[in-house]
Each structure stands twice: as structure tokens, then as C-alpha cells.
Structure 1
Amino acid sequence: MDQVLAGLRAAAEATRLRLLAICAECELTVSEITQIIGQSQPRVSRHLKLLCEAGLLVRFREGTWVFYRTPHSGAGAELVGLVLRLLPQDDEILLLDRARLDQVKKQREQVATEYFRANAADWDTIRSLHIDEAEVESALLTVLGDLAGKRILDIGTGTGRVLELLGKTAAEGVGVDMSREMLAVARARLQRAELANCLVRQADMYQLPYPDGAFDVITLHQVLHYAEKPETAIAEAARLLAPGGLLLVVDFAPHDQEELREQHAHRRLGFEDGAMKDWFVASHLDLSDVVNLPGKPLTVRLWCGHAEPAQNKVLSGNATGRAAE
């Protein structure tokens, strides 16, 4: 009851209701929020602080930027949903906020488009060396199967395309990347696709800020060839898999295209099945499926592994304990 009362007290103010309404649409920075609300930054920050303390907003940092949005799950999310359903859709102030929010989204889209245009040549060069991306995506969806009710993580999300693809049916999707520029592209893509169940975060794939077993499905799509330590990235992904969860690595089979190393910063020229299997086994993953998609000169390969079911982990732990005794 105390938590509910605290949430209701935090929401019971006109500006804070407006903040909840716009932050339910997408994640926003303080400067974007002030642009929409039309109030000073100190005043907006004070309201945001109260909403975060009550659990009605979540706050996360990305470099020097700080983003806010309504939570996706938990008691705070339920209360926000109830409050927002009570707001009149034809309220003049809320309609003006939505119009300004649309302007912010358009500005984001413009920034993302300009960045993508400036870097499109690199992606076009690499895509021309392997099978059509639509066939890769089709194989990816076939391997992953039904994602209904599942929580997914896309590591090295880049433009957010995989998150867009999977988020249409998954319960919740998270994409992580170190590049703020790429995260801007991904955010624009997700808002264009109206995927409110998906979000992106800045994070290091070797040290991801999530608890053990937090995700049902994790993807590493064309990421590992940039990694200095791919085995460590796989181990970190495995840590985040729920019992019986699925890890899918999409990357290149071994090749001799040295220009990808010299011109596009590829650390690895593809991966052998044996090496991938060893990394999966070391991370307690069962490499259950390997799919080849031959191209000229690059072959795209999908490696799919499952985490141990909960029962197996318990049995393994008991056996280890008995052995130690």
C-alpha cells in the first residue's frame, strides 16, 4: 500500500502527468523533454527525480546523456498504465505535447538518416560480398522460432535491424551497443516501427549491466568478427541466458578477404566451427544447430546453442557438491 500511495502522490501533478504521457511513448533526454514541455530544465529535472524515486520512470545514462522512460514491467509499470488510461485523449495540453514529441522524433530521424547516409558505403561494400540479407534474416527467424512472451537481447545492435525484426513478436527487446551514433540510428528505426516494447542501451558486450538469466533469447549478429576476445563475449552472453535459453551467433565462416581487416576493422576473418563449439561448451552451452548460407566470396553461418535447463543445472551442482565432499 505504501508503494501505491507513493506512486499516486508522485503522479498527482499536472506536469508530472504530462511527463508520464510522453515518456510512455519513447525514451527521452532532459533537453528533449524541456523542448516538449516548455519548462525550465531545473524544474523538469525536479519532477523527473520525484517520478524516478516513486518507480514511475526509469533513468539511464549514455555517455554524457541521460534518458528517461516509463518502466516496462513491475508495480511501477502497472500503476503508470492505469494512470495513463485515465487521461483524456483530446486534452489540449496533451495534444500539444504529442505534436512537439512528433517534432523531436523527426529531428532524431534526420540525425540518424544523415549518419547512416555518411556510412552507408561501408555497409553496402560488406553486404555485396555475401548472400542477400533477406535470406539471412529468414534463416535467423526460422532458427529462433516462436518468440511470443520471450525477452530478447541483441548484443552489438548497430542499426537495430535485428531488434526490429524480433521485437514484433517478442514480449520485450533490448539492444546494446557502444556507439552512441549507432544507438541514435537504432532508436529512430524502433520509433519508426512503433515498437514500444523495445529499447536500446549503451553497454560493453564484455560487461553487460544485467543479472544472470535475464533473457530468453540472445543474438550476436555480425558482431564477433570485431571482437578482440570473442570467447569472452560468448561467455558473457551465456551468463545472461535463462535456463534453456537460446544464443544465436550470426557471422562469417573462415575467409581470406584481408580488406575487411584493413578497411573495416574486422579483427577476425571468420570463425571455424570447432572454435565456436569450444567456446559454446566452455560457456555451458549446447551447440545444437549450425546453418550455412554460402555466398561469393563470404559464407554467412548461424551457430545456435541452448543453455542447460534448470533441472540439469541443479543436478550438475549436486553432483559437483558430492564430489567435493
Structure 2
Amino acid sequence: MIITAGNQGYVLKELNQQLLMAVVQYLQANPDEIFHIPHICTSVAELRIDQVGRENIRIHAADENSPVIENAVEHNLKNLIGKVSMSRPLVLSMALRSISWVSRRIKKLRVLTIGPRTEAEIFMLIACGFDPANIKGLDLISYSDFIETGDMHQMPFEDDSFDVIILGWVLAYSDDPARAASEVMRVAAPDAVIAVGCAYTPFSEEELMAQGSLVAHGGKYNSADDILRLFEDQVARVYLRDEIHPDDREESDGIKVIFQLKGPSDS
């Protein structure tokens, strides 16, 4: 999360009246630009959760044969109501924006975010420049018009529907991640860019259960290669590979990888 509180130095120590009026006038003309301020982005998402209420959260009725792990819905409902990890979507969204292939086409790219949980990820994608009309979310739970309810192992979308697909910390909810990856490749267009984040933990399943985790038995990922292998031989190029540093392997953290699937020019 990008904040200035605690910085030793400042560019602007305060907003004078002239600058404040210029900012207000700009935001009145371009209201979505307010999402460029990460704290405001998450604050708007938090307010939306409070306004919706638990009774209006839609829950996907998963097929009994779905490989979604036990307690996935309960875990995410708890974290949705508790507003947990609201700033985490910033990590993959900002990285995507820095990729030239994406930035040159950003207003036309069709985006799917799988498992966003809240609207914070949607708002951050808008801040990065993606057109809201081209953004869809898919999750087991939803309170938002942006996010359809559904299962990543059997998505309600046609083949070749998306140019950018984000899986932010959701593969661990699958007992069959290869099937989820296969479904991602089905709905992905040729040349689609895939951004994946997975939690890393040094703790065993037993230790996680003792800590009160509802999803301790989810899949574990120790490197970017663990993720890339799920997509078999369809990876054309890797744009970002963020591994756990050897000095940090005793701490819980995240592994991130952004790559592009093969397209016509790669055949």
C-alpha cells in the first residue's frame, strides 16, 4: 500500500486552497481517477461492503464434484466481512500496467479477475487504465455487479473471451489446480496475459490448523515454477517472476508470476 504517513521526507506537506480546488475540479470531471489513491480505493470498497449487508451477498452453489476445497466459501465470507487483505490486489494490478504489451492495448483488453472477493481489485484495475466496460470478475461469492458468481473449474464464459486474466491468491482453493489452469487457458484469447499470485507459507497443514486456518489443506506453492507448470507448454514468455528470497523463507509471503500464453506469432 502506497502511503506517505511515516515518511521522513515530503514533497507536499499540505494542500493549499488553490491546489485543493484544482484537485476537486479535476475529480469532478474525472471521478474514476480518485481510484489512483490506493487508500481511497480500498476505503470505497470497504464502504460498499458495509452498505450491501451480509444478506445480499450471493453464494455460488458449487457442483458436488467440484474440486473447490472445503471451507473455501466460509473462509472468504469471513474475510470479506472482516475486510481482510483489501490492499493486496494492488500488487498484480500495478505490475500488469507496467508491461508494454498491456499498456499499449489497455483500453481494448478484456479482463477477467478470478476470486477478487471485493471490488477493491476492480477499482485498482480501473485506476491502472483498464476500461470498466471490459472488466469482469468471477468468484464463489459476490455482492457486486462487476463480479459474477461461479466456479473457476467450470467458468460461465465462452472460449477465447479474455485478453488478461488475474488469479490473485485463488489457486490454493483448488484440489485440482491443473483443471483450473486448463479452464483459464480455455477462456483466454491467444496471446492472453495471465497474472497469478499464490500465498507462500513455511508452516505445515497441522501448524496452520492450530493457528485457526479454515483452508489449511489448500495447495502449497514454493516457487513460480510450481505455478508455470500448471500451464504446461502454453507459456510463451514470462514478464514477472517474484520468488521468495532465501532470507525470507521462514516468513509467510507471496509468490507472483505474470506470463503470456502462446499466440499466432509463437507457433
Q: Which TM bucket (shorter chain)?
A: 0.5 to 0.7
In the other structure, the counterpart of 2:136 is 174
Partner-residue secondary structure (3-state), 1:137: helix
Aligned length: 186
C-alpha change, 1:210 and 1:111, in structure 2 (3 Å) is same
Alpha-carbon offset, residue 273 of structure 1: 3.0
CA contact (8 A) 1:222 1:250 kept: yes
| Shift of residue 281, structure 1, vs aligned partner | 2.4
Larger radius of gyration between Structure 1 and Structure 2 = 1
Contact 1:140 1:302 in 2 (8 A): no
Residue 152, structure 1, aligned to residue 94, structure 2: no
1:5-27 CA deviation, whole Å, 9 max, x = no partner?
Answer: xxxxxxxxxxxxxxxxxxxxxxx
The one-letter code sitting in structure 2 at the alignment partner of 1:177 is D
Q: 1:79-158 alignment to 2 at 5 Å? A: 109-112=51-54, 119-120=78-79, 134=87, 137-138=90-91, 140-145=93-98, 146=103, 147-158=106-117
**Contact 1:251 / 1:302 at 8 angstroms: preserved in 2?**
yes
Give the aligned CA root-mean-square deviation in angstroms.
3.5
Show the counterpart of 1:209. Answer: 156
> Are the aligned partners of 2:173 and 2:215 in contact in 1 as well (CA < 8 Å)?
yes
1:208 counterpart SS class? coil
Give the Cα separation in 2 of the matches to 1:111 and 1:277: 38
Partner of 2:94, secondary structure, is helix
Q: Residue 81 of structure 1 aligns with which residue?
A: none
Question: Which residue among 224, 232, 239 is the counterpart of 1:273?
Answer: 224
Q: CA deviation at 1:221?
A: 0.5
- Given that 2:190 and 2:261 are in contact with CA atoms closer than 8 Å, whether structure 1 keeps it comes out as yes
Whole-angstrom CA distance in 1 between matches of 2:263 and 2:197: 23
Deviation at 1:139?
5.3
The 3-state SS of whatever aligns with 2:158 is coil
1:28-86 deviation per Cα after TM superposition (whole angstroms, max 9, x unaligned): xxxxxxxxxxxxxxxxxxxxxxxxxxxxxxxxxxxxxxxxxxxxxxxxxxxxxxxxxxx
Could you state the TM-score of these two structures normalised by the residue count of structure 1? 0.49
CA distance in 2, matches of 1:121, 1:178: 12
Question: Deviations along 1:225-250, whole A, 9 cap, x unmatched?
Answer: 11111121112112211121101111
SS at match of 2:124: helix
Q: Is the 8 A contact 1:257 1:269 kept in 2?
A: no
- CA distance in 2: counterparts of 1:275 and 1:287, whole angstroms: 16
- Residue 166 (structure 2) aligns with: 219
Unpaired stretches in structure 1, ≥5 consecutive residues: 1-104, 128-132, 188-197, 317-325
Task: In structure 2, give the amino acid aligned to 1:229.
Answer: D
State the secondary structure of the residue aligned to 2:192: strand
- In the TM superposition, what is the alpha-carbon distance from 1:156 to its structure 2 partner? 1.5
Could you tell me which residue of structure 1 aligns to residue 179 of structure 2? 232
Distance 1:122 1:106 in 2: 11
The 8 Å contact of residues 110 and 164 in structure 2, kept in 1 or not, is answered as yes
Closer/same/farther in 2, CA of residues 292 and 213 from structure 1, 3 Å limit: same
Q: Percent identity?
A: 18
Q: Distance in 2 between matches of 1:148 and 1:260?
A: 42
- Counterpart in the other structure of 2:10: none
Residue correspondence of structure 1 range 239-278 to structure 2 within 5 A: 239-256=186-203, 258=205, 259-260=207-208, 263-266=213-216, 267-278=218-229
Code of the aligned partner of 1:175: G
Q: Which has the higher helix share?
A: 1
Question: 1:308 is matched with which residue?
Answer: 262
- Write the distance in 2 (CA, Å) between the matches of 1:292 and 1:140: 18
CA contact (8 A) 2:224 2:243 kept: no
TM-aligned CA deviation for residue 174 of structure 1: 0.5
- What's the CA shift string for 1:284-314, capped at 9, x where partnerless? 12350312476672121111121112243xx
Match of 2:12 in 1: none
Displacement after TM superposition at 1:138 (Å):
4.2
